[in-house]
Amino acid sequence: MAKEKDNPNYKVIAENRRARFDYAIEDDIECGIILEGSEVKSLRLGGANIAESYATIDDGELWLVNSYIAPYAQAKTFGHEEKRRRKMLVSRREMARLWNDTQRKGMTLVPLVLYFNHRGLAKLKIGVAKGKKNADKRETQAKRDWNRQKQRLLKEHG
């Protein structure tokens, strides 16, 4: 991933930071996404939110549901619907694996990051995740707090 961040075309558009807190991510996969022209232009300006969105498999196709892409002001008559379902692109093998994973108890597909890759194409990284219980969330918070405290102590005494 270090190579991608050095590339001038690589740009994170939207990140679902809450996903790693609410879910235990077991695996992640990079997907293409079918967009309209005004959506791509809006993404280049950074107007997107994937925090409340999720991915689902319907009739053998992968869909991104409830993601928000801001309207593009210059596309007056040829604009896009902000919260429409967007089709995602994965290989048949990956689709079968994702479908099998989601059939297990408690597994879901969570969008993690929406970004432009090194070729300038919009990509979405989705995670195969299991929902955390409240105790697990508290444990994650405690670990994060302890790591912060540890860094603070090392900074003071180091």
Residue 5: which pLDDT band, with cuts at 50, 70 and 90? low
Task: Find the mean pLDDT for residues 68-76.
Answer: 80
Flag whether pLDDT at 129 surpasses 60: yes
Full-model pTM = 0.76
Alpha-carbon span 142 to 20, nearest angstrom = 14
Alpha-carbon span 67 to 51, nearest angstrom = 8
Flag whether pLDDT at 104 surpasses 80: no
Flag whether pLDDT at 115 surpasses 80: yes
